[in-house]
Amino acid sequence: MKTITRLLLFFVICNPINIACKHETSGSNKEINLNMTEYDEFELALETAHPNAQELMNDAFYWDIVDENAPFGNDAGSDAFSQFRNWRKFNPTASPVDFVNQLLESWDYPVLDLSELDSNKIRQYIETNHFDSNFTEAANIVKHHLRQASKNSGTDFDDAEAEIILQIVMRNMGSAFLTDTDNAIIAIGLGQFILEGKIDNDIRKAAKFAITRELMPEIVEGWGDYKSQRVERLTKIFGVLDASI
């Protein structure tokens, strides 16, 4: 489950134990087909994109697959685009927003109105403990991985310290869920443009809402030294969405 993977990634950041953790998603939604297809051989590059995308997406950051502040460099954006290519093979005329909803459900992410711009509701989303009854299961899985990592590294596992770190992680998960969701929506909108040279109106609107949320002070301030870069790039992407009509 992606929520558990998120917890593991936060523990890697917060805990001195070095854990090798692969970012992956899973889910029971059969409409998200993860089988290999011809789209899986697609190389993300300016040269391989649709000519319409080549014309508008000519900044290097669009094609960077390792930069966390690039649409396809962050984990959520990369995963979303990869799975969208698969899904599009079997759903060539469906709305990309249908895929967004299926994807977020498969990630077990808390529900967010994709058009939400009310700062109070967004703040509530960020500050809410979204784990509820599932949190204990997720926490136990994370602790199991930490115990195994401690054993492998020859160090003692401190259950009390892990519990403290877990509480710190909980306070940051809402913001992570929101940014992952927005990054996925943006990547899918741009992804359709790259593959097909067009962006359907509903995913364009959803991507604009996502960018607007990410530019809100309570969100963008979290980028610290990369805030100005984040603002500049999101503003350029917004321009692409407008120009692609």
**pLDDT: which is higher, 175 or 216:** 216
CB proximity list for 238: less than 8 A, separation 6 or greater: 208, 211
CB proximity list for 183: less than 8 A, separation 6 or greater: 71, 74, 76, 77, 80, 210
pLDDT score for 220: 96
pLDDT score for 16: 35
Query: What is the average pLDDT across 2-6?
Result: 53
pTM: 0.77
Reported as a pLDDT band with limits 50, 70 and 90, residue 154 is confident
pLDDT score for 149: 80
Task: Indicate whether 218 pLDDT > 50.
Answer: yes
**pLDDT: which is higher, 152 or 9:** 152
Query: What is the average pLDDT across 25-29?
Result: 35
Rounded to whole angstroms, the Cα distance separating 107 from 27 reads 7
Tokens for 54?
Answer: 């080549």
Helix (H, G, I), strand (E, B) or coil at 197: coil
